[in-house]
Amino acid sequence: MYIATLLTAPETPALDPALIESLRNAWGGGDVTWLSHDEAAEFFLNVLPDNQWQVWDDLQKMSVDLVLQPAEGRCKKMLLADMDSTMIQQECIDELADEAGFGARVSAITARAMNGELDFEGALIERVGLLRGLVEPVIDKVLDERITLMPGGRELVSTMRANGGYCALVSGGFTAFTRSVAAQLGFDENRANTLLAEDGALTGEVARPILGREAKVEALEQITARLGIAEADVLAVGDGANDLGMLQRAGTGVAMHAKPSVAAQCDVRINHGDLTALLYLQGYARNDFAA
């Protein structure tokens, strides 16, 4: 048994009931359940349709996301989330670099690294090197003035935790940021890289070993083993090439507003919904969300 979930941006909910019914009839689906008025709906299927991706492409042009997945086991016991451009709307290193006067240069490197065009570790070392001499208080300034949470993040974390889920924030960014974001959103733990400083200023170095793609997979392995749950019980979400390892290993890996090369390698892609989409995928209705 499979389930089809259709959803759109919550700030402009315009999911057409006629569209849902037409698709349900074409695919021989079960009754439609609305998870949120005009925003998210689902129906069951006995088999996966052959034209799934053709329909997905057509719906994208209508600002509608479509996800088909096995119905069994879709409600997960753990959330493993990337931070930059996933749980927050920015790339922290780009914001720091902008304060240091290298914003455009670093942003270009970040974009290429997240799209898988550059080696993540090498690109990180190069970008951090440009931060040398930046005084540590700038980190707090960036956190206060530049970093904003991704819509739906609070609801996602609080609802999963309220239902017994464990939430881990695992970033190729920096602990100075993950600590703050994890505390604001209620994550159980966070992992990231550490910027090195001396005499109140960044040295342009990052502590080794560098947390990248493999370290995110290791986090998946270590945390599930510690909790005594299967990797199939994990919902992972990210947007960059360094997230692909955990996205492909987790029970459900969500490419969230992801780089094209990343989305192309994932079966679950959210381009229009916000982070509450990850709750709809698990079968939660909006009135089930924790405050």
Peptide bond into 17 cis (omega under 30): no
Q: How far apart are CA 170 and CA 220, in angstroms?
A: 9
pLDDT in tens, 23-32: 999 999 999 9
**In the chain, what percentage of residues exceed pLDDT 90?**
95
pLDDT in tens, 120-150: 899 999 999 999 999 999 999 999 999 999 9
The domain spans of the chain are 1-72, 75-90+148-291
Tell me the torsion sign for CA atoms 125, 86, 192, 235: negative
199 is known as an active-site residue: no
Which position among 84, 94, 233, 274 bears the catalytic label?
A: 84
pTM of the full structure: 0.95
Helix (H) / strand (E) element for 174: namely: strand 166-174
Which position among 82, 239, 243, 274 bears the catalytic label?
A: 82
Cα angle 52, 53, 57 (rounded to 5 degrees) comes to 125
CATH fold of the domain at 75-90+148-291:
Rossmann fold (3.40.50)
pLDDT in tens, 28-82: 999 999 999 999 999 999 999 999 999 999 999 999 999 999 999 999 999 999 9
84 is known as an active-site residue: yes
Question: What does the pLDDT read at residue 115?
Answer: 87
Helix (H) / strand (E) element for 113: namely: helix 103-114
Chain-centroid distance of CA 225 in Å reads 22
Task: Please state which architecture CATH assigns to domain 1-72.
Answer: 2-Layer Sandwich (3.30)
